[in-house]
Amino acid sequence: MRLCTIIILIILIFTSIKTKAQNYELGKVTVGELEEKFNPNDTTAPATILFKKAKTFFTYDIKNGFTANHVYEYKIKIYKKEGLSWANQKVRFYVGYENMNKEQLEFSNALTYNLENGKIVKTKLDGQGTFKSNVNKYWSEKTITLPNVKVGSIIEFKYILKSENIVEFPDFQCQYDIPVNYFQYKTAIPEFYIYKPLLIGYQNMTSDSKITSGSQSFANQYNQSRSFTYNQIDAVYSDKNIPALLDEPYVDNLENYRVSIRHELERVRLPEEPVKDYAMTWEGVATTIYKNESFGKQLNEKIFLLEDLKRILMNVESMDERLNIIFKFVQNKMNWNEKNDYYTDKGVVEAYKNQIGNVAEINFILISMLKLAGIEANPVLVSTVENGIPVYPTRTGFNYVIAAAEIEGKRILLDASHKFTSPNILPLNVLNWKGRLIKNDGTFEEVQLPPSNLSKENFNLLAAIDANGRMYGKARIQRTEYDAYRFRIENNMSEENYLEKFERELGNLSISNYQVENKKSNFKDPILETFSFTSNNQFDIINGKIYVNPLLFFTRKKNPFNQEQRHMPVYFGYKNQVKYNIMIEIPEGYVLESMPAPIKIISEDKNIIYIQNFSNEGNKIQISCLKEINNAIFAPDQYNGIKEIFQKMIASQNEKIVLKKI
């Protein structure tokens, strides 16, 4: 009897192991997988990629040479209704090549699995669930919608992308907004092509490579079958339990930290042909870009600007004034077509004529006008936040260009493509580490894009409290530099809509006598807001005592840094100083009972400073508060220190000033 029990237990254990074990092959779905109600490593996940597998291999034909084939397989479990969107899959492919055939994309093995009355039922995708559309002249897109998908379903599909572009492979993405239980990426690359694999993100994946034998069969020009053999490098990358990539406060671009694998071609060494080097240095990238006709040649197109330049600079001798006049003229005349590029599209002449162009066309016009005016000016290649941080020299490392002018040894960075920018105030997404300034003699230098000086916000308030719980007063808010620029772009709306939004953000404050200066003009000058305010809900009255937050309606309630761990840097964008100077008048019949203790917090490197002081004289309470962020970006290992400082800062802001009835 005891032996029988042991045997049964062993059978149950092995059955459990078999049920739990994942099979990383399409078409292998178990009852246990379909019965699973949540991801054990992330119970909040609406879905999970049970596995993602891919392989890259080469085929050959005598006309086109080698072609890269990228095969992808997915198996996904749906846990919640929020995960149903994974039934819709979209894949883009490039069709805009000039000297190569369009890429080809084909889906297959698309199935949905459900558990019905204890049995596995599968539904196959038919032709009606597949769609193709043109995104633009360069890209097309194929979409599939898996059938009969519901909470509890497992879906799987496969697709192959065939491309004659062997210079750069598509990124192999290993991390998504949902967890990935397992990924594997295999490559089989002929010895003729040397690639540089780039591993992006913080995940420590397993990788291995070895030299093996490869072969290709093809038909020659006489349609005779031929073949050849060669050595090839087989590599495999894999990992398990990759967590979902979730957005966190103060992140520049989430894509910079998504775990992925990239391959870029460094060298081609085909038999009986000279070696061709694709390996890039930053010098090589800059030189190649400058020599392109849509870059260097366009910067030499100047004659068409002379007439307008003479008109706007008549009797203007000061170089600083010339720069400001030219910048404002180009900014007002030209309209951005919302296309980022460091190459021109239609060309500067046509863009100027039509008063519309991409970033390169507008800023090249600016550079040429500055040069004609006797001001040294050069282009600066930039990668915007959305394009990522160009850590390695790469042809796609840049996607934007601005201007750099020099007057008496002082460098001024300029971007006339956006309407609220000004000299040394660039769009926020351009403040991305470093740019590369290129001169026409071929020399270049790095340019720091984030500003070195502080942007400032100063809040001055005079507030009076009455015994009935009503508060009224006046406020004056001044914003400079990037804080002023951010205000302009984020509040580019009617005054009525802005005040409705502003009142709501400040706890349903009632604002009157509102005035604002320099919001839509004089972009170099600070934004200045003044207004009167009233409120009936800014403090509590309990047992004859009034409890007041020191910063009133500007009090921060929650710490934005509440994660246990952080793998991404903390990105503030630019250095910032915020000052509050608040005077509160105590109501008649009340006196001050207590107020919070002063607080002073300074990080070891002095990159974060927080100071809050209190004083009382007669029926007036004076509160002064200073917060400084003296660095644009902090490394992940500094996260705990930042979290602790913000926690103390918020706690101090929420300590009450207590007024008691006489």
C-alpha 22/C-alpha 411 separation (Å) is: 59
Mean pLDDT of 266-279: 89
Q: Which residue has the tokens 């034909």?
A: 61
Mean pLDDT of all residues in 75-86: 98
Kindly report the CATH number that applies to the domain delimited by 455-661.
2.60.120.1130
The residue among 395 and 329 whose pLDDT is bigger is 329
Q: What is the pLDDT of residue 567?
A: 86
pLDDT bin (cut points 50, 70, 90) of residue 390 is confident
User: Is the sign of the CA dihedral 42, 261, 237, 639 positive or negative?
Assistant: negative
Work out whether strand 65-78 and strand 47-61 pair parallel, antiparallel, or are unpaired.
antiparallel
634 contacts 642 by C-beta, under 8 angstroms:
yes
Rounded to an integer, what distance in angstroms lies between the CA atom of residue 264 and that of residue 197? 7
Banded model confidence at residue 395, pLDDT cuts 50, 70, 90: low
Angle at 238 between CA 232 and CA 239, to 5 degrees: 170
Which residue did the predictor score with more confidence, 655 or 393? 655
Q: Is 459 left (phi over 0), alpha (psi -120 to 50) or beta?
A: beta
Identify the three-state secondary structure at position 22: coil
Cα–Cα dist 323/545, whole Å? 59
For 150-198, write each residue's pLDDT tens digit.
999 999 999 999 999 998 899 899 999 999 999 999 999 999 999 989 8
DSSP state of 554: G
Give the right CATH number for 8-277 from 2.40.128.20, 2.60.40.3140, 1.10.10.60, 1.20.1250.20. Answer: 2.60.40.3140
State the Cα–Cα distance between residues 105 and 356, nearest whole angstrom: 36
Q: Which of 320-324, 464-468, 624-628 has the lowest mean pLDDT?
A: 464-468
pLDDT category of residue 467 using cuts at 50, 70 and 90: confident
**Single-letter code of the amino acid located at 645:** I
Helix, strand, or coil (residue 487):
helix
Structure token digits, residue 15: 């059955």
Residue 9 is predicted with a pLDDT of: 39
Where do the domains of the chain lie? 8-277, 282-444, 455-661
pLDDT for residue 13 = 39
pLDDT of residue 83 exceeding 50: yes
Residue 389 has a pLDDT of: 83
Judge whether residue 8 has pLDDT over 60. Answer: no
> In angstroms, rounded to a whole number, what is the distance separating the alpha carbons of residues 162 and 657?
69
pLDDT exceeds 90 at position 469: no
Confidence of residue 1 (pLDDT cuts 50, 70, 90): very low
Q: For the domain made up of 282-444, give the CATH fold.
A: C8orf32 fold (3.10.620)
